[in-house]
Amino acid sequence: MSSSVAHNSQSSLELLESLKRQLSEALPQKQLLLLPQIMEAGVPGYQVLMDFLLEAKTQLVPSVSAGRSLQLLHQVDDPNIQNFLETHFKSGLVSLPNTCGVDYTDLQTALIQQDFELADRLTLQKMCELAGTNAIQRKWLYFTEVKTFPNVDLQTLDQLWLIYSEGKFGFSKQREIWLGVGQDWEKLWPKIAWKDGNVWTRYPGGFIWDLQAPAGHLPLTNQLRGVRVMDALMNHPAWQTS
């Protein structure tokens, strides 16, 4: 090996070690900025992210950077990485409490795959399951049904959306924005791109099904039936105990 090649290899290793150290020490939002650089390192970078994910498994609540790391590794066509994911993260990064009234495994899978449109449909489906047989049949919710949702289920739905969207999506994110505009619905709708002027965003083509969407854009509710369902979600006691 020539001295220049050896030097470049050594420089790459030093850079990778530096990124690994920064990743372990930085706050989640800074970690998100480091992930593309780590991925560009190829196999050594993938190993850094695998180690990072194993560490994340020990945390009570996974970080948004761990969620993004899992999504990135799922995109890599490498048998070793796929075997690692199958072994350690078969169902995903978020532990689904056995006290939940509904199974959210398929929703977690859709979010890992960044299929946000499917995840949105599954979210409504899961909420209808929570509401009961009548809601399942009609495929939409009454606000009175939302009020009966167990805290753990809404918190789990919210955590799934937050962790796999870099913290941009989820009911608690929508609530944060809603509180920030003084609980004014007419100010909220354009802020999360559900309305432009007097025109409601058309489903599904008008919505943005990726992370280019504004914060709080997803998940959707049946807001066209009025604000009562959304109001029930924003005022649910789950957010007082999460």
- Over residues 7-61, the pLDDT tens digits come to 456 777 888 888 889 998 999 999 999 999 999 999 999 999 999 999 998 888 8
pLDDT in tens, 165-195: 999 999 999 999 999 999 999 999 999 999 9
Band of residue 5 on the pLDDT scale cut at 50, 70, 90? very low
Judged against a pLDDT cut of 70, whether residue 1 lies above it is answered with no
Tracing tokens 């056995």 back to the chain, one arrives at 98
- Label residue 2 by pLDDT band (50, 70, 90): very low
Q: How many CB atoms lie within 10 A of CB 194?
A: 23
Residue 1 DSSP label? -
Supply the pTM of this predicted model.
0.92
Give residue 154's pLDDT: 97
| pLDDT over 80 (residue 142) | yes
Give pLDDT tens digits for 206-218.
Answer: 999 999 999 999 9
Domain ranges of the chain: 3-88, 105-241
Counting Cβ atoms within 10 Å, is residue 87 exposed (0-12), middle (13-18) or buried (19+)?
A: exposed
Nearest 5°: phi and psi at 200?
-70, 145
Residue labelled with tokens 């009961």: 132
Q: Which of 185, 200, 193, 196 is nearest to 169 (CA)?
A: 193
The domain defined by 3-88 folds into 1.25.40
Q: What is the topology classification, in CATH, of domain 105-241?
A: Arc Repressor Mutant, subunit A (1.10.10)
pLDDT per residue as tens digits for the range 85-130: 999 999 999 999 999 999 999 999 999 999 999 999 999 999 999 9
Sign of CA dihedral 131, 135, 139, 144: negative
What contacts 115, CB < 8 A, 6 or more positions away? Answer: none
Hey, what are 114's tokens?
A: 């960044």
At 225, the pLDDT band (50, 70, 90 cuts) reads low
Q: In 32-55, which positions are buried (b, 16+ CB within 10 angstroms) versus exposed (e)? A: bebbeebbebeeebbbbbbebbee
Each as own residue / partner, the long-range contacts of residues 122-131 (CB below 8 Å, 24 or more positions apart, any chain) are 123/157, 123/161, 123/219, 124/219, 124/220, 124/221, 124/222, 126/102, 126/153, 126/157, 127/157, 129/101, 129/102, 130/101, 130/102
Which amino acid appears at position 211 of this protein? Answer: L
Q: What local confidence, expressed as pLDDT, does residue 12 receive? A: 77
